[in-house]
Amino acid sequence: MKKIQVLGPGCPKCKQLAEQAEAAAKGLGIEFELAKVTELKDIMAFGVMTTPALVVDGEVKVVGKVPSVEDIKKYLQ
Q: In the chain, which ranges are E strands?
A: 2-7, 32-37, 53-56, 59-63
Could you confirm whether 14 is annotated as catalytic?
yes
Contact indicator for 46, 60 with CB cutoff of 8 Å: yes
Within 3-42, the residues that bind another protein by CB under 8 A are 8-14, 16, 39-41
Residue of 3, 27, 33, 50 interacting with another protein (CB under 8 A)? 50
Whether 53 contacts 63, CB under 8 Å: yes
- Alpha-carbon distance values, 27 to 22, 48, 49 (Å): 8, 27, 29
By CB under 8 A, residue 51 contacts another protein: yes
Applying CB under 8 A, which of residues 33, 45, 57, 74 lies at the interface with another protein?
Answer: 45
Contact residues for another protein, defined by CB under 8 A: 8-14, 16, 39-41, 43-51, 60, 63-64
Annotated catalytic sites, by residue?
11, 14
